[in-house]
Amino acid sequence: MYKSSPVFTRLRTRNAERFEGGTAIKHPIAFAELNGGAFQRGGTFNISYVQTDTALQVVPKYYYVNVTLFGTDNVIARGPEAAMNYVESKMVNASGKMAKLLGTDLFLDGTGVVSPAINLDGMIQALDNGTIYPSYGGITRTDLGIAPGINNAGINGYVAALATFTMKGMQTAYGASWFGNEHIDLIVSTQSVWNSIWEKILPNQRFMEESTDVAKIGFQSMRWNGSSICVDQYAPAGYIFGLNTKYIQFWISTLAKYQFGFTGFKEAQNTDDVAGQYLFSGNLLFPAPRLNFMLTGVVA
């Protein structure tokens, strides 16, 4: 019923952080350099103060999935005649629904432009270069001295329109997001874009096995420039996201009930029916958007 989201799965299992409480989730960042350089005998130092640090912050967001059961079903779904454990099946469904909600919204913005402001602060907002989203994480991008539209500087990601997909266009984005030994390690898009990449790479496949007349053509997964390329069924059409997953934080509340916990079933007034909610609280935070890229308007 629910398709898997490799990005959500990876963030939940590898990038999960815990926040204790408060009205905001914060992460300090350094955005400017101190004064320094060569000097000679009798020379003077530039001792003017330089603001080098600030903090990105996002507020916790809240999600629920409701599970309602008819009390009369307790009479039917029990004993050797029960076709299934209907409580267990509902809880499995709730888990899949929550994964779908978060797996969809982590790609969007959470500002009210693409998705409601009560949703996750997603990639489209975080990886912008200031052209559409002038602020991120409570910081106005130009306050860091970076003009709108400038890629890979301050807290601006790399953004480019790629109307017709080309490997050269993706390589340009990859190179622009590469700083020192930090580079993209996960590239995510839709099935149609993945198919275009497959088509571009396939002609470079070589057949080294000479002991058989049966050719093994094609591949189910791809690694390019040291990065995994995968399909996420919840990725929005027309986008390719290049992610440095070392610099993505998926924050989850330390309160057990909001760590994908369950409230328990509660009886409704004047009825034998019960309802309970599967809950999550947290948000997504990109400490270094400039180490990522986002290609838009991609036509596979």
Residue 3 has pLDDT above 70, yes or no: yes
Q: Please classify residue 300 by burial: count the beta carbons closer than 10 Å to its beta carbon, then call 0-12 exposed, 13-18 middle and 19+ buried.
A: middle
pLDDT, tens digit, 9 for 90 and up, residues 289-298: 999 999 999 9
Give the pLDDT score at 211.
65
Distance CA 238, CA 36 (A): 44
For residue 285, how many other CB atoms are within 10 A of its CB? 23
Give the pLDDT score at 32.
87
Look at residue 34 and tell me if it is in a domain: no
Give the pLDDT score at 216.
60
Task: Look at the chain and report how many structural domains it folds into.
Answer: 1
For residue 135, how many other CB atoms are within 10 A of its CB? 15
Give the pLDDT score at 156.
97
Distance CA 30, CA 129 (A): 18
Lowest mean pLDDT among 61-65, 156-160, 205-209, 221-225: 205-209
Look at residue 94 and tell me if it is in a domain: yes
Look at residue 81 and tell me if it is in a domain: yes
Look at residue 232 and tell me if it is in a domain: yes
Instruction: Tell me which residue of 99, 123, 107, 128 sits closest to 236, measured CA to CA.
Output: 107
Q: In terms of residue numbers, what domain contains 156?
A: 6-29+56-296
For 236, the token pair is 């929005």
pLDDT, tens digit, 9 for 90 and up, residues 97-140: 999 999 999 999 999 999 999 999 999 999 999 999 999 999 99
Look at residue 44 and tell me if it is in a domain: no
Residue 177 has pLDDT above 90, yes or no: yes
pLDDT, tens digit, 9 for 90 and up, residues 239-280: 999 999 999 999 999 999 999 999 999 987 888 889 999 999
Give the pLDDT score at 21.
80
Give the pLDDT score at 83.
46
Look at residue 107 and tell me if it is in a domain: yes
- The pLDDT-based confidence of 43 (bands split at 50, 70, 90) is very high
Amino acid at 30: A
Whole-prediction pTM value?
0.89
Strand, coil or helix: what is 158?
A: strand
Query: Would you put residue 77 in left (φ > 0), alpha (ψ -120 to 50) or beta?
Result: beta
Look at residue 1 and tell me if it is in a domain: no
More confident residue, 7 or 79: 7
Percent of the chain's residues with pLDDT above 90: 70
Beta bridge partners of residue 39, listed in sequence order: none
Look at residue 48 and tell me if it is in a domain: no
